[in-house]
Chains A and B, each alone.
Chain A
């Protein structure tokens, strides 16, 4: 039961990556490789500040700000220097590998006895759950899961509300049809800067939370995160659909949790963890190719 809950917690935390990738890839059609770097950056910044004695919420927020900066860098390179999206992301992500290593000082930093956000939640919510009759061994993990769920619900709600405002709607229009947005007076370069800042701050938040959940930050923790996010978005879309903004956001988050459960089941069934990233990439490839193959067959 604890393993299942922990899988849920992890899946929910990574749902923030799915939401980020939803913003960059689905709303802005921007395959944003920065995701890998900003996930690590969020984890590294949060871990470094926690070890330095910062409040865990502030440390996580600082990680988000760092992630947003990385997104802004990629968008600026793309929009104002004319470098194509993939290459812009690769450049920033590669530089972040150095930044993360220098910031961390070594490849792995354990949080030791620093108080994490999950510790705070467990301390506050755990006893409450126990009083409600939840088993003491379960209460801690359940509190973490509830916290992760809360974070995802808040993030998805804030995104939903923001993208219904005039600015958010203009951003969606700019991502959907840049010619239209420019013809209506919007600087699509600036809109992309905003979009990638939001996307990468979410990814960095996930990095910060994962570091706090697993108790350490690692310079390689972000590898493959963009593919994870895409897998979640595609899976969610296949499961829930997603014509409307709200459904699409919920689908992305649900996709992440489902994908984490699938991964956990595959590992339990004997999948070598070394093959995990390759399996994730295969899922994304299948999701990208399947509709085209099915479409051409139905046309034939």
Chain B
């Protein structure tokens, strides 16, 4: 269970205005739920993700995961509970290490690595079995440097690594945004399969309205640091990409009106 309790993040640039990237967001995600998060650029969806992963510190509020208040935990400490897949395939895997060595590092998540061999027989067999189930043929390439693989293959290995030990939360940060459509499609299918098979609690940030409509049990739309829409169940299932596009347009029009009003006020009162 993930519980965001009035999470607020204020960015203060030197000399500039304070920006409330997250404005008192409260969000409860029960165990086993798959939440898709969408939002316009600068809406706060990445900050929301960062606040959970530990890359962004909360200005106020709390993040609770599996009963722990992780608000002050470092990124690597949160990794005991959270599996992550990044937008950039290069960020989630070490290019100079082989596929199996990358998996070996993931197999140590949440425990001390120790001085045993990183890539023993047992790990090799298990990696071959698990990876072969997702991408048949890839199990033959366990000893190749992962840097020699395509972005899509790297993202699939990263997914496997993030879920090697069942995470309390799987965080997916626009993890198909950097891929070509065919690869993105394969990664999305692998993601959905892994989440369903493992009954994982997952939070996926995406910019794709098609993915947002078709994936997940629940949809959260973030705008200006707040949750503007939060639907699940039948209402979520009925959502189409067009509905979401209309929502975005409405939000944009409201923003323009807000900006125009702000300019008028500024002109009047200078």
Contact = CB atoms under 8 A, between A and B. Distances in A.
B90 to A, nearest CB: 7
Contact of A173 (B74, B77, B83, B94): B94
A166 B75 contact: no
Task: Report the contact-size class of chain B (Cβ under 8 Å from the partner).
Answer: 35 or more
B79 A166 contact: no
A209 B92 CA distance: 41
Nearest to B78: A185
Interface in A181-206: 181-188
Contacts of B116: 165-166
A182 B102 contact: no
A167 B53 CA distance: 23
B105 to A, nearest CB: 5
Given A173-B97, A180-B105, A184-B105, 12 more contacts: A166-B116, A167-B113, A169-B113, A172-B94, A176-B96, A176-B97, A177-B93, A177-B95, A182-B79, A183-B86, A183-B162, A185-B79
Contacts, number: 95
A38 to B, nearest CB: 25
- The interface centre, meaning the residue of A162, A179, A185 with most chain B CB atoms within 10 A of its CB, is A185
A25 to B, nearest CB: 13
A18 to B, nearest CB: 18
Interface string B75-106: 11101100110100011111111000110111
B118 A185 contact: no
A169 B106 CA distance: 11
Interface string A208-244: 0000000000000000000000000000000000010
A184 B115 contact: no
Given A184-B108, A185-B79, A186-B105, A176 B115 contact: no
Interface of A: 162, 164-170, 172-173, 176-177, 179-188, 243
Contacts of B114: 165-167
B32 interface: no
B161 A184 contact: yes
Contact of B86 (A172, A179, A186): A179
- The interface centre, meaning the residue of B53, B96, B102 with most chain A CB atoms within 10 A of its CB, is B96
B157 to A, nearest CB: 11
Contacts of A176: 94-97
Interface of chain A, main secondary structure: helix
6 contacts: A169-B119, A180-B91, A183-B92, A183-B162, A184-B161, A185-B110
B117 A164 contact: yes
Contact of B108 (A170, A172, A180, A182): A170
Contacts of A179: 86, 91-92
Contact of B79 (A169, A170, A172, A183): A183
B223 interface: no
A176 B97 CA distance: 8
Nearest to A170: B113
A170 B105 contact: yes
A163 to B, nearest CB: 9
A72 B167 CA distance: 33
A238 B4 CA distance: 53
B92 to A, nearest CB: 5
Contacts of B104: 166, 169
Contact of A185 (B93, B108, B117, B119): B108
A166 B120 CA distance: 10
B61 interface: no
B92 A172 contact: no
B45 interface: no
Contact of A180 (B74, B94, B119, B145): B94
A172 to B, nearest CB: 6
Contacts of A187: 74, 76
Contact of A177 (B53, B90, B106, B119): B90
Contacts of B90: 177
Contacts of A166: 104, 108, 113-118
